[in-house]
Amino acid sequence: MSRPIRKVLIANRGEIALRVIRACRELGISSVAVYSTVDKDALHVRFADEAVCVGPGEASKSYLNIPNLIAAAEIAGADAVHPGYGFLAERADFAEVCAKCGLTFIGPKPEHMALMGNKVRARETMEEAGVPVLAGTGVLKSPDEAVAAAKRIGLPVILKASAGGGGRGMKIVRDLSRLPQTVETAQAEAQAAFGDGSVYVERYVESPRHIEVQIVADCHGGVVDLLERECSIQRRHQKVIEEAPSTGLSDELRQEIRAAAVRAAKAIGYQSVGTVEFLVDGDKFYFMEMNTRIQVEHCVTEMITGVDLVAEQIRLASGEPLGHLDREHKARGHAIECRINAEDPVMFSPQPGTITALNFPGGFGVRVDSHVYGGYEVSPCYDSMLAKLIVHGADRDRAIRRMRRALEEFVVEGIKTNLPLHRWISRQPAFVEGGYDTHFLETYLDADAVRSVLEEHS
């Protein structure tokens, strides 16, 4: 049954908060920003219809403070909550509290978030649904169990946190004698990062591509995919550049992966937008995880499909059917996204400080999603991402040329950023040819490349 949404509290900050505000405004829905004392002068506070302070700069006392967020929604008279990405976006308990308080959670059901948030249960569910998974185990009960599994699967293997994500708690093991100690280290890291020390073993793929499929599903049983994204350029398991569509897939493999993603969503009765992620090893692919939220890189999908994913997310939460989305989608050209971070371009360490000068690129086919401005103080309290540069071209070659031009126009002064790294990547033959994998940076960012990046930065 349709339940119209009138006013949305955005339980987030930065560019994603602005993105939701824009979607709400175009849908005729009021928006309520929340902010910490550090963010009192942030753009999402200025552009929302209303704003409520939810605590001090420390995220645990503001953006992660569920009672304060619910109180803000009640004070503002909001009837829905959008979690954005990060913070509480995949916390099933937050979605449950919202529902108990009569607030529409703009996202999937809590049980789907909980299921996909547990990597072991997610693997088991996908295997039952006929979605390929890598050889692996359930939660390890002892280091000896890990050794037995590694002997069965074959080295190398990777240890992963059951409740994990973002590369935390992940350990690659190539020497069987080191496995017991590595299990204990991974368990300790998982416990510290997620409050859950359970880990499991999986076969390690040496040179995979990281491919994800955008899913949109309504509460009436309708599920559609909006094509795939290539996310293989990473550092420390964190995405740096994303593009759509992928250039590394045959048409047959592309269709198989998209069909598997739809099958995965249908198997759990998923509702809302979501992303099913896969590792591709040659002509084989394997389920990795499902992200039950809007992704940072959703923009490249929007550029090649013409679909406003955040607006669709809001529509679906109100109970509307897929409608115009319930059809086969084909890519319109090619899109590339660069994550521009306040960080050292080689060491990747965060670089907080004041932006003294700023120029965003523009022109045909160029989009910048950002929350920063000249004079903006980049806080050490939060994620270092400053902006997302998204370019679109009729084909990949033209998109890359546009990417280079836009990166040249992009100016951030006062702090270090990874702009020189992006400019360097855009000129690398392996990137231009599209034949890269998840080890791109560790393979090509050698001493000479580091020197080149640093010289550009200076």
E strand spans, 11-47: 30-36
Find tokens 């793929």 and name the residue. 205
Q: What is the DSSP letter of 59?
A: G
CA distance 418 to 215: 30
Compute the radius of gyration of the chain from its Cα atoms: 22
- Would you list the DSSP string of 206-258? SS-EEEEEEEEE-TTS-EEEEEEEEEEEEETTEEEEEEES-SSS-HHHHHHHH
Selecting among 19, 123, 229, 293, the annotated active-site residue is 293
> Which candidate, 100, 118, 96, places its Cα nearest to that of 108?
96
Q: Provide the total of helices (H) and of strands (E) in the chain, helices listed first.
A: 16, 20
Distance of CA 111 to the CA centre of its chain: 20
Residues 388 and 410: beta-carbon distance below 8 Å: no
The three-point CA angle 392-398-402 to 5° equals: 65
CA-CA-CA-CA dihedral for 372, 418, 361, 352, to nearest 10: 20
Q: How far is CA 338 from CA 46, 117, 187, in A?
A: 26, 27, 33
Amino acid letter, residue 391: V
> Which candidate, 68, 63, 65, 7, places its Cα nearest to that of 35?
63
> Which candidate, 240, 237, 259, 248, places its Cα nearest to that of 281?
248
Whether residue 293 lies in the annotated active site: yes
> Which candidate, 103, 124, 178, places its Cα nearest to that of 147?
178
Find tokens 């550009």 and name the residue. 456
Q: Which helix (H) or strand (E) holds 456?
A: helix 447-457
Catalytic amino acids?
293
